[in-house]
Chain A
Amino acid sequence: MADSDSPSYLDPLAISRGESLGILARNVVEGYRVGEHRSPFKGFAIEFAQHREYTIGDDPRHLDWKVLGRTDRYYIKQYEQDTNFVVHLLLDGSESMNYGSGKVTKLHYAKALAACLAYLVLLQRDAVAVGVFDTQTREYIPRTDNLGKIHHIMNRLAAFEATEQTSLGVGMSDLSRIAKAKGIVIVLSDLFDDEEGFERGLQQLRFSGHEVIVFHVLDPEEIAFSFKGRVEFIGLEGAPTLETNPADIRKTYLAEMNAMRLRMRLACDRTGSHYVLTNTANSLAETLSGYLVFRHKVTAR
């Protein structure tokens, strides 16, 4: 019954599109199961990868005898070994994620996105782990490759309510300690936090060998700031209340917001992470398929 009561964070359209594309690790990660993901250990398993000249110490079993016969040169055949991977979904559960100009809050959107990603990952028999943090890690669902656990993940996500402030650095740092195996860390956050802490967190994750994808979740009004009339803004996360005419400050606000987005993107670039701006006005399917298409192209190189 609990499963049937769980909120449906799974967007059918998003799932169907994502499923066709699959989750492809941009970088080669190590896995504990043979899957669709390339392993850094190019060995002698299934898929031929390349030739390499024989050096002393190589196992002569891997010599390509055909090449040797034709060219009298010693070449070793190398094979590519697919491996499965673990995706760590790190969801920002701070109070600022509660904002939504429409029916959907950022937190709701991020939860749905996380659920879809988790489902896709589990669907291709990879593992997923989910963590929700604010000033510290509030929820952590250890990694699992059981598709049946998706309802459990969604229930846990649904039960979470954002009330605290953000500390991105702490959340990412906690994850780098918790996650033993290298994998893909997907951060879903509005990034309204200390920028240095965020970059430090990214670095820690990267040092731990994770590939990091940052979904920067923003509400369309936070991007466009198209309010009219006199508005009293009640600050979330303990920010003061401000009464102003948005039209008066729109230009400055947008400049500040764009500058922040640029800084976050640059921080991602510096740490080799991937930055994805996510507008909650876009459908989940659009967001997900957009990113997966991009990722597919990147990994296909």
Chain B
Amino acid sequence: MTFINPAILFGLLAVGLPVIIHLLTKPRLKRMYWAASRFLLKSVQKNRRRVQFEDILLLVLRCLLVLLLVILFARPAFLTDAAGLQLGGEASTVVILLDNSMSMGQSDGTQTRFDQAKAMADGILSKLGTGSSGALYLVADGVKPVIPKPTQDLTVLRRSLAQASLSDRSTDLYPGLKQAVDLLKASAAAHREIFLLTDSQESAWRELTRIRQLQDENAKDITMHFVIIGEKGEDNLAVSGLQMIGTVAAVNQPLRCAVQVTNWSRTAVEKIPVKLAIDGDAPQDQAMIDKIDPGASRVVNLFVRFRDPGYHSITASIPGDRLPADNQRSIALLVLEQIRTLVVEGTTNPDPSARDGFFLRHALIPVRPDQVDQYPIKVTLGQPAELDNSTIDQYQLVFLSNVAQLTPLGAQNLQRYVNGGGALIIFPGPTTDISYYNTNPNLSALLPAQLGASRDAPAAQKFLSWQSHDYTHPITTLWNDPASGTLGSVRVSKYFPLQTKPGDAAARIVVKYADGEPAVMEQSVGKGKVILFSSTATTAWTTFPIHPSFVPLLLRISRRAVREANSISRRDNRLPSRSIPPMRARSFPCCARATKNGGSRARLSLASTPPCCAMPTRNWPGLISFSWVTILSPRWFLPWHPIRRNQSWRRNPRRTSIP
């Protein structure tokens, strides 16, 4: 037997309550003189044992009542096994629903739950009477019919059962039950039964109400058996998160990653080594977590360094346990050799320190002059005419600083660049022609807000300040911690009010002025990102370029823009266009292949216009490498997560059952 709400079992401590209440509560004692004491004495003597017995009985009953209530609220579920099922010898039609979710891979030391379930299902089949028929479905968060219609050939059914394999998916039992019920409704058999073999994870009962309804509606015709597998073997440690939190991944640059490890066991776990490796090679970094309490998570920061540009994978791992599937976690990322940045200046000035890109250039390369060559960010200063040629595509970042206008071709190129995944950061300035920015169809489509007429700070205040607290945007949340300084000391004497476009929900405010007016806004456009400042990148109108937050804020903005613009998911449909000639056919079989890290392979179909890959299966979580069969090309790693691992891997220490 197990319990659906095991936490309520702590209420068992309340069993002692009647005793404590009895001990603590002193009954109000009435005192009185009494004449007929002799009868009283006799009565007390006669009843003493009975009263004592009744008192003890009452106490026991009260304790039992509390016990029963606690157990009732904990919702006990009785586990059954195949041996306990009473199938009788009559012919029946059964549907076996075998949970093949990832958690069924949990082992008790000798056997996984999935193996146990298969053995039980085999036992059920062996007990079926002559003339019985059966169907087999694998259920996770989807339903896979193995034997979709009841067959009397139980040998085939057994063989299919033996060949059933685990998936890496979460569980949702309702769709499987619904299909099984629909199947049996169509059957004319006298005895119709459904056997659901599951380890009863929390997510499996997400549609419990509908399952109950299904059960109630068909209670007369169809018997449902819920066989709960795996009462023991709950201890599990999982890598529950892996996140890149350093700068943009670049060659020979240390990249900081946060690895989250969660202890789903009932006991604390100590001394957990966590390793971080690239492309399945030897670990580059490792750390030891001293202790994780039950149900708690710990995060460690580890560093990796890439030697080659291109697509790579990072894998965090912990030592193996009884559920191996969640002992490692991987992400794929594109490592850049250089982050090429173009800073377009609106004016020219012989004095380098007076140029529109002076502060930007130095902030983007915050290293000593002798280290500039090793630093991955390369900055090119240019004029608006630079945007007229197609070389703009080679840049990961483009800054516009105090640019008055663009040529029509430049504006078109810039729009194409952003839509294709480029990152654009705009600092207006004294020469900026706001009417051009607001009316040019190419440029206005990129802007997260319209630029209002330049405005001086109120005379009474002399300057405006940025907000000093309550930062909500991911770029600025760093400054919620006072130890990181404050953006509130950024002064602005003149600015272009950012006027939100009506109905534009994509635009977000990065930083506001103290009065609530937007100071910096961002917007995703196509596959790229645009960030718009309301004031200059020089000290003409604002102290921001000389503020301590200038460098970190600019780097965070750049990192976010580049990371999103160059993320694999946004680049994926560029794959065919860059690697093979555009195709006219609707599909091009045998030209591309996906390979799972375990060795499984699948052909990809390539759809045209725009050419893109289509995965034939959704059951391949983890790292998948894509390659061309016909031509040699670098591999492309994709993180394929059809299931939300956080949900799937979460170990619910208790199971549930249909009460």
Contacts and interface: CB of A to CB of B under 8 A. Distances in A.
B32 interface: yes
A234 B33 contact: yes
Contact of B51 (A97, A219, A222, A248): A248
A97 B27 contact: no
B51 A249 contact: yes
Interface string A214-245: 00000100100001011111111101101111
B246 to A, nearest CB: 74
B37 A260 contact: no
Interface stretch (A80-88, A196-204, A251-259): A251-259
A192 B51 CA distance: 26
B35 interface: yes
Secondary structure class of chain B's binding surface, majority of residues: helix
B94 to A, nearest CB: 59
Contacts of B43: 249, 252-253, 256
A235 B39 contact: no
B54 A229 contact: no
Contacts of A222: 35-36
Contacts of B35: 96-99, 106, 190, 192, 219, 222, 236-237
Contacts of A236: 33-35, 37
Q: Which has the most chain A C-beta neighbours within 10 Å: B30, B40, B46?
A: B40
B28 A229 contact: yes
Contact of A192 (B27, B38, B42, B50): B38
B40 A233 contact: yes
Contact of B30 (A97, A190, A232): A232
A225 to B, nearest CB: 9
Interface in B35-60: 35-44, 46-47, 50-51, 54
A232 B29 CA distance: 7
A240 B40 CA distance: 10
B455 interface: no
Interface of A is mostly: mixed
B32 A260 contact: no
A300 B51 CA distance: 52
A242 to B, nearest CB: 6
Given A244-B44, A248-B54, A249-B47, A260 B39 contact: yes
B51 A245 contact: yes
A240 B41 CA distance: 8
Contacts of B644: none
Given A99-B33, A232-B30, 20 more contacts: A97-B35, A98-B33, A106-B35, A230-B27, A231-B29, A231-B32, A232-B29, A234-B34, A235-B33, A235-B40, A236-B34, A242-B37, A242-B40, A242-B41, A242-B44, A244-B40, A244-B44, A252-B43, A257-B39, A260-B39
A232 B27 CA distance: 11
Contacts of A252: 42-43, 46-47
A252 B47 CA distance: 8
A253 B51 contact: no
B366 to A, nearest CB: 83
A190 to B, nearest CB: 6
B45 to A, nearest CB: 9
Contacts of A96: 35-36
Nearest to B33: A234
A256 B31 CA distance: 22
A233 B46 contact: no
Interface of A: 96-99, 106, 190, 192, 219, 222, 227, 229-237, 239-240, 242-245, 248-249, 252-253, 256-257, 260
18 contacts: A98-B35, A99-B36, A106-B35, A190-B35, A192-B35, A231-B32, A232-B30, A233-B33, A233-B34, A242-B40, A242-B44, A243-B29, A244-B40, A244-B51, A248-B51, A248-B54, A249-B44, A256-B42
A239 B29 contact: no
B26 to A, nearest CB: 9
B30 A231 contact: yes
Contacts of A245: 51
A233 B37 CA distance: 8
B24 to A, nearest CB: 15
Nearest to A257: B39
A249 B54 contact: no
Interface of B: 27-44, 46-47, 50-51, 54
A37 B33 CA distance: 43
Contacts of B54: 248
B29 A249 contact: no
A239 B30 contact: no
A222 B43 CA distance: 13
A253 B46 CA distance: 10
A239 B44 contact: no
Interface centre among B27, B35, B39, B42 (most CB of A within 10 A): B35
Nearest to B26: A230
Given A96-B35, A222-B35, A249 B30 contact: no
A239 B36 CA distance: 9
B28 A235 contact: no
Contacts of B42: 252, 256
A244 to B, nearest CB: 5
A77 B376 CA distance: 157
Contact of B32 (A97, A234, A248, A253): A234
A192 B30 CA distance: 23
Most buried by B among A96, A222, A248: A248
Contacts of A253: 36, 39-40, 43
A60 B27 CA distance: 85
Residue of A190, A230, A231, A249 with highest tally of chain B CB at under 10 A: A249
A249 B42 CA distance: 10
B1 to A, nearest CB: 39
Contacts of B40: 233, 235, 242, 244, 249, 253
Nearest to A166: B35
Give the 5 A-B residue pairs with the shortest CB-CB distance, closest first: A239-B37, A235-B37, A96-B35, A99-B35, A233-B34
A239 B38 contact: yes
A232 B32 contact: yes
Contacts of A233: 32-34, 37, 40
Given A249-B44, A253-B39, A230 B51 contact: no
B39 A229 contact: no
Q: Which of B36, B37, B40, B44 has the most CB of A within 10 A?
A: B36
A256 B41 CA distance: 10
Contact of A230 (B30, B38, B47): B30
A242 B37 CA distance: 8
Contacts of B47: 248-249, 252
Contact of A234 (B31, B39, B51): B31
Given A96-B35, A242-B37, A229 B27 contact: yes
A287 to B, nearest CB: 19
B36 A229 contact: no
A233 B34 CA distance: 6
Nearest to A247: B51
A257 B29 CA distance: 24
Nearest to A193: B38
Contacts of B29: 230-232, 243
A243 to B, nearest CB: 7
In this complex, which of B28, B31, B37, B42 has the most chain A Cβ atoms within 10 angstroms of its Cβ?
B37
Interface centre among A106, A243, A256, A260 (most CB of B within 10 A): A256
A259 to B, nearest CB: 9
A253 B35 CA distance: 13
Nearest to B41: A242
A243 B40 CA distance: 10
Contacts of A260: 39
Contacts of A248: 47, 50-51, 54
A185 B33 CA distance: 30
Contacts of A192: 35-36, 38
A62 B462 CA distance: 151
Nearest to A259: B39
A245 B43 CA distance: 11
A96 to B, nearest CB: 4
A21 to B, nearest CB: 31
